[in-house]
């Protein structure tokens, strides 16, 4: 069966969800909406930006004159610290009205003091500093919270309100739905096979040689077999690593290289600042003394970019995708070929 010629479904083993793949639809004309490409040249420092060095944020605090990364508590965080005032459990009238208190911390991580740069435009040492910062704050927060989510939204069409290069880290005692789902799926696989799901997946992708976009000594960047977004990629640790806290300096250096390559390739696909949502999935923390083994886990990152056919044509998850299951036209293999062919040298540097 040639999956590149027929309509078929692929299963995501991390979530248990399916995606409908319709490769024949790539031949249809496109009459959909487009997003405008911004040609505005940003300054290296914007006096009105709340993330730039020395500027004052909404809460009246001034940012330091930082030279690498800078982290602060989100002035408008979605999670707030726990307080005894609201600690009582919600008394649900029935099981159909279940709720629980959610608390935690939200931090902003500025990747660079320069307002006009993005991850692929940072130097290797600057990217290493970003990875080191991720690790530092993961370790600190994982000592207090079970779930720590490091992520970045890049681009206005991904809801990013500030162009200054930055990401976020949210931490909370509950397991988020995605982490809980991945935890259960990976544990079930480990119990059935005695090996980590993503460890086996790395080996099988290396054998298939169809979807690997980049690989170095410690990391594999691949368009996953079950990708839902057109140019979705998965960044996988090749080492037996479950969370950021376990990474050694050499692994972080190699991760910086992998991030530079994949984000540069993204920008080069359509010669634009490629938007995406990117985030890291770590094994749930044992902060409260749990001794549960996390052997079934493997640290990995997801890139979910929305662009489809050009810098202005966006994939919309609507209709069938919202009401039934994910659907894609561009096969994972074709998307991988496009990304593999994209240059390692950023188009702005050419």
Cα dihedral 302, 304, 310, 315 sign: positive
Q: How far apart are CA 205 and CA 220, in angstroms?
A: 9
166 classed as catalytic: yes
Q: How far is CA 224 from the centre of its chain?
A: 14
**Among candidates 297, 207, 301, which has minimal Cα distance to 263?**
301
Structure tokens at 3: 């999956």
Q: How far is CA 71 from the centre of its chain?
A: 19
Q: For the chain, where are the alpha helices, taking DSSP H only?
A: 124-142, 177-193, 197-208, 249-270, 320-323, 332-341
Q: Which of 70, 164, 166, 218 is catalytic?
A: 166
**Among candidates 297, 176, 299, which has minimal Cα distance to 244?**
299
Say whether 110 sits in a helix, a strand or coil.
strand
Tokens 């459990």 appear where?
Answer: 89
Q: Percentages helix, strand, coil for the chain, rounded to the nearest 5?
A: 30, 20, 50
| Residues with a known catalytic role | 166
């Amino acid at each position: 069966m040639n999956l590149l010629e027929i309509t078929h479904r692929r299963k995501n083993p991390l979530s248990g969800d399916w995606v409908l793949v319709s490769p024949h639809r790539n031949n249809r004309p496109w009459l959909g909406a487009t997003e405008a490409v911004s040609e505005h040249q940003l300054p290296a420092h914007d006096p009105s930006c709340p993330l730039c060095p020395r500027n004052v944020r909404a809460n009246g605090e001034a940012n330091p004159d930082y030279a690498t990364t800078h982290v602060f508590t989100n002035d408008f965080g979605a999670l707030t610290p726990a307080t005894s005032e609201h600690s009582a459990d919600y008394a649900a009238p029935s099981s159909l009205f279940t709720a629980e208190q959610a608390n935690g911390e939200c931090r902003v991580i500025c990747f660079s003091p320069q307002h006009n740069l993005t991850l692929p435009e940072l130097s290797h040492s600057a990217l290493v500093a970003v990875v080191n910062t991720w690790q530092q704050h993961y370790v600190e927060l994982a000592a207090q919270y079970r779930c720590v989510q490091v992520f970045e939204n890049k681009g206005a069409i991904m809801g990013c309100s500030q162009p200054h290069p930055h990401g976020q880290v949210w931490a909370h005692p509950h397991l988020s739905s995605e982490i809980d789902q991945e935890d259960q799926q990976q544990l079930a696989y480990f119990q059935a096979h005695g090996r980590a799901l993503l460890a086996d997946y790395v080996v099988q992708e290396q054998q298939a040689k169809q979807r690997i976009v980049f690989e170095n000594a410690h990391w594999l960047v691949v368009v996953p077999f079950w990708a839902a977004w057109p140019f979705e990629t998965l960044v996988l640790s090749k080492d037996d690593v479950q969370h950021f806290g376990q990474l050694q300096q050499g692994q972080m250096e190699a991760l910086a290289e992998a991030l530079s390559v994949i984000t540069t390739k993204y920008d080069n696909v359509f010669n634009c600042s490629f938007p995406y949502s990117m985030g890291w999935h770590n094994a749930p923390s044992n902060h409260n003394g749990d001794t549960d083994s996390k052997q079934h886990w493997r640290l990995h990152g997801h890139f979910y970019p929305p662009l489809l056919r050009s810098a202005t044509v966006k994939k919309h998850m609507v209709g069938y995708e919202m009401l039934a299951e994910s659907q894609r036209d561009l096969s994972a293999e074709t998307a991988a070929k496009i990304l593999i062919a994209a240059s390692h040298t950023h188009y702005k540097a050419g």
